[in-house]
A and B are shown apart, each in its own frame.
Chain A
Amino acid sequence: MSKIIQVGMADLKITRAPDRLMTAGLGSCIGICIFDRSIKLGSLAHIMLPSSLQAKNSENKAKFADTAIEVVLDMMLKNGANRHRLQAKIAGGAQMFKFSGESDIMKIGERNATAVEENLHKYRIPLLARDTGGNYGRTITFDPETGDLLVRTIGHGERII
């Protein structure tokens, strides 16, 4: 029996096929899927912020792009993934609010996306596909069996990347 494993905000999980990973309502947050197709092992991290370095409280490693990728990488390798076969797909990083003036709240999605890409690059994990930006939320489901990432939205269609 395959299960769909829920990943909450500032949370991360790993699983093997046939189970799938799902996170609902990504706004400025980003869902990062790092996976090893050959052993059908996949992960999903739902990060909120670009960097743990500026944070006063960085206890929850799943909250930040830099620490979440570090933790996921470690978990993947411990579960038998080959470092050179790791690949990634990401979604989210939207700008949710209109008319929000000069506030930082507007740019957080973009900063998240940049930070995720930089960190993936740092660990030399190729980014196969991305569905980031825009001004709408995304619910995503990752299938480690196929490496498909299903992105669902309200009013902006549905796609597999």
Chain B
Amino acid sequence: MEDFTQLSGLQLDALKEIGNIGAGNAATALAQMVQTKIDMTVPRVSILPFADVPEILGGADAHVVGIYFTVTGPAPTGILFILTAEKAGLLVDMLLQRKTGETDIYNLSDMEISAMMELGNILSATYLNAMSEFTQLTFIPSVPALGMDMAGAILDAILAQFGEIADHVLLLETDFTKDEDEVVGHFFLLPEPGSLQTILTALGVSY
């Protein structure tokens, strides 16, 4: 399937279910790492033109931290965990069991960068495990790539990979929240256009 806009309601629901289970596992892993209760929102599937993607993250100028994985296997995809700089600092404090506000996000040490990448590793691995169980497909994540900068700048480097094939991107988005509705981060699954067919077939909802 080359055109995301042709997805049926049933197919969108199947994708949301993947998001639900994958992110559910990832949220549990995150909660264990930071020893705090982490909730998640109901997954959203959006099919967006490239130009509109930065808006989800508070505009192209917003200062964010992105941890990105390319996932290989029968259904190649991308995974992006993205959070505001402020929340990233908070998470690092929690991970390293320090007082809130100790992390200077503009000047991260190797240790702090490593903590953040490890966080990304665990989130993506748990998400992909759930997806594998659900679809019986193998997903192999790359090493994490870390970017800290403007949301637009982080995204365009990733979207460029999809740009040769498509003008739209399919985002499967789940937000992690802490203390009721304070958003901690966004988790995106970005399947390559050809992969979507493979995933949907594995879920039994292909055309």
Identify the A interface with B (CB < 8 A): 8-11, 23-29, 48-49, 54-57, 59-60, 63, 94-101, 103-105, 108-109, 136-139, 154-155
Identify the B interface with A (CB < 8 A): 50-54, 59-61, 63, 68, 70, 106, 117, 142-147, 149-161, 163-167
Which of B53, B151, B167 is the one whose CB lies under 8 Å from A60?
Answer: B167
CB distance A154 to B150 under 8 Å? Answer: yes
A97 to chain B, nearest CB (A): 4
CB distance A24 to B147 under 8 Å? Answer: no
CB distance B156 to A29 under 8 Å? Answer: yes
Chain A residues with CB under 8 Å of B117's CB are 99
13 new A-B pairs (CB below 8 Å) besides A57-B165, A98-B147?
A8-B51, A11-B51, A23-B60, A24-B152, A26-B153, A27-B150, A29-B156, A54-B164, A55-B163, A57-B164, A96-B156, A105-B157, A136-B153
CB distance A10 to B163 under 8 Å? Answer: yes
A50 to chain B, nearest CB (A): 10
A9 to B150: give the CA distance in the assembly, Å: 13
B38 to chain A, nearest CB (A): 26
CB distance A100 to B153 under 8 Å? Answer: no
B99 to chain A, nearest CB (A): 24
Interface-centre pick from A29, A59, A109, A136 (highest chain B CB count, 10 A): A29
Chain A residues with CB under 8 Å of B146's CB are 97-99
CB distance A109 to B163 under 8 Å? Answer: no
Minimum-distance CB pairs A-B, first 3: A25-B152, A137-B153, A27-B153
A97 to B155: give the CA distance in the assembly, Å: 11
Closest to A98 in B: B146
B55 to chain A, nearest CB (A): 10
Interface-centre pick from B117, B145, B156, B167 (highest chain A CB count, 10 A): B156
Closest to B158 in A: A105
B69 to chain A, nearest CB (A): 10
A77 to B141: give the CA distance in the assembly, Å: 48
CB distance B61 to A139 under 8 Å? Answer: yes
Chain B residues with CB under 8 Å of A10's CB are 50-51, 163, 167
Chain A residues with CB under 8 Å of B154's CB are 25, 27, 96, 137
